[in-house]
Amino acid sequence: MSVKRVLSRGLELGRSVLQLGLPRSAGRLAAKLRPEYLRGGQPQSSLPPRYRYYRVSLRGLAARLQAAGLGRLAGGSARSRAAFLAFGVGLGLVEEQLEGDRRSAAACREIQALFSKKKFQTFPEQPLVSGYKLEDYVIGKQIGKGCNAAVYEAAAPAPVPPDQWTGAFPLAVKMMWNIGAGSSSETILRSMSQELVPAGPQAMRQEAGALTLHGHFGRLPETVSPHPNVITVHRAFTAEVPLLPGAEEEYPDVLPARLHPRGVGNNRTLFLVMKNYPRTLRHHLEASAPSRRDGTLMLLQLLEGVDHLCKQGVAHRDLKSDNVLLELDSGGRPRLVITDFGCCLAERDRGLQLPFSSWWVDRGGNSCLMAPEVAAAVPGPGVVIDYSKADAWAVGAMAYELFGQKNPFYGPCGLEGRSYQEKQLPALPSNVPADVRLVVRLLLRRNPNKRPSARVAANILHLSLWGGRALARLDRAAAGKMADWLLCESARVLLKGVGRSRALVEEEQRRCFLANVDLEDLRTAAGFLLYGRAQRSGLSQ
């Protein structure tokens, strides 16, 4: 009998021993070694990073134990023989599973690389060929105003004199209010550099790239790459402040003295040119109540946008419905983009970590939607605020607005981020999908270590929306079957394709999912789904 056949018979015998439950200790050990996503409870990675070295040696250890078990067939107690065989076979099965995991992880990497290469198109309907001067644009009426800027509809290039213009306004020009930044282009760009984080590659003239920023000579802040759920600044330039429509009535105090006697503003400021979106998320929610599907897709888009920013070392820190713009795709679904980066954290050398040495350090914008770890932070030597999950928490709070309820953290009687208890959170309407309610509950956990990242939370919604049969078999599906489903999803998206200007929101989100797919993140999301399902099953009994 060949060695290969002997080992094969040993494996069969070992499996029989495991199925009979002899010995029980070996069965318990095999259960502990099973991957996490095949067990109930709260999800974790299949092996902690510090133990992943041992994956490469499990096969050898299993073979030695199986050989030792076979060597004892001629002597020793039956319990001893069974223990060696069962333990060896258990490790062999783990190694077999890990080999499947490696193949699945490789498939995920290939899918991610394929869809990451297909860049998202966020250009306006007619790409700009110039537009580096204010005179290149026809400025229309005011469409928005915040605490530090006014936004006007615009068109470019100007084909006729402004007083004869009768066409549409596909662009928006944001004029920053310059009170203390001086009137030189260098100081303006240094003071307002955060607004340039979502700037596109052609937003500024190349010769203006080298500037003195943050007290040393260097380049403009590294910008984020295009994403369908993050605004793109197509042009950025400094110019003389003009007297635009409504300026004297709406914001006279921030105008320069040459335009208004009470004005305290400087003569030059920063202008940003973007796509013109019809409304903000807040205005949309005030005018109409989204369907369950639309609400879920809007929550998913916010998470995808936040995940994209986090991966590039940016924390928005001022997420609210006023800072999210909205348009409808060709199928009538809302498409959301995150905008207004004036309060963002985008330190190239610090990432999402902010040293909090004194109360003078800026923690961000909207205090009502500050995550607990930010709102409750106390300054001191060595204290650092981690923003890696703070924006995801804010999205969880905004979810109430998406489904027709008041944000529980707004108003004089609202909850406070620094002190609320999770049991105080109001329940979402019963018609909201159970998986969405699970995501919101997870995002609003006080402890950031128990809160999923934006990527994992988005994956939970992706699995819920597109999983179908794969989700129904999730509790018993192997990683290989999950990889098969991912390959089918990839083929479906590639065959259907996504158009440049008429892309559907759902197709964009499928592409976002595949461009970021990672086996460990996907397993964690699947584990959370199983955890939520088990909780709901326990409550219903």
Residue 272 pLDDT = 95
Residue 31 pLDDT = 46
d(C-alpha 463, C-alpha 443), whole Å:
17
Residue 8 pLDDT = 55
Residue 209 pLDDT = 44
Residue 303 pLDDT = 98
d(C-alpha 251, C-alpha 183), whole Å:
19
- Read off the tokens for 138: 């026809």
* Residue pair 281/321 in contact by the 8 Å Cβ criterion: yes
The 3-state secondary structure of 217-265 reads EEECCCCCCCECCECCECEEEEEECCCCCCHHHHCHHHCECCCCCCCCE
Secondary structure (DSSP) of 119-142: PPP---SS--S---SGGGSEEEEE
d(C-alpha 4, C-alpha 280), whole Å:
67
One digit per residue, the tens of pLDDT, for the chain of length 541 reads 444 554 455 555 555 544 544 444 444 444 444 444 444 444 444 445 544 444 445 455 555 555 555 555 555 555 555 555 555 555 455 555 556 667 777 778 888 888 887 656 554 555 566 788 898 898 999 998 888 999 999 987 666 666 666 678 899 999 999 988 888 888 888 888 899 999 988 888 754 444 444 443 344 566 788 999 999 999 999 999 999 988 999 999 999 999 999 889 999 999 999 999 999 999 999 999 999 999 999 999 999 999 999 999 999 999 999 999 999 998 899 999 999 999 999 887 777 999 998 999 888 888 899 999 999 999 999 999 999 999 999 999 999 999 999 999 998 888 999 999 999 999 999 999 999 999 999 999 999 999 999 999 999 999 999 887 666 555 544 555 777 788 888 888 887 764 444 578 999 999 999 999 988 888 888 888 888 877 877 665 5
Cβ contacts of residue 281 below 8 Å, gap of 6+? 298, 321, 322, 324, 325, 326, 336, 401
Active-site position among 101, 136, 318, 521: 318
| Cis bond before residue 127 (omega within 30° of 0) | no
**With b meaning 16 or more CB within 10 Å and e meaning fewer, what string describes 466-502?**
bbeebbeebeebbbebbbebbeebbeebeeeebeeee
User: 133: annotated binding-site residue?
Assistant: no
Beta-ladder partners of 175: 150, 271
pTM of the entire predicted model: 0.79
List, in sequence order, the alpha helices (H) in 403-518. Answer: 434-443, 454-466, 469-472, 479-496, 505-515
Domains of the chain by start residue, with CATH: 3-117 (no CATH), 134-276 (3.30.200.20), 280-427 (1.10.510.10)
Kindly tell me the burial class for residue 446, based on how many C-beta atoms sit within 10 Å of its own C-beta (0-12, 13-18, 19 or more): middle
* Residue pair 295/402 in contact by the 8 Å Cβ criterion: yes
Residue 107 pLDDT = 76
Residue 116 pLDDT = 80
Classified as helix, coil or strand, 393 is helix
Tell me if residue 307 is catalytic: no
Distance of alpha carbon 31 from its chain centroid, rounded?
A: 34
Classified as helix, coil or strand, 346 is coil
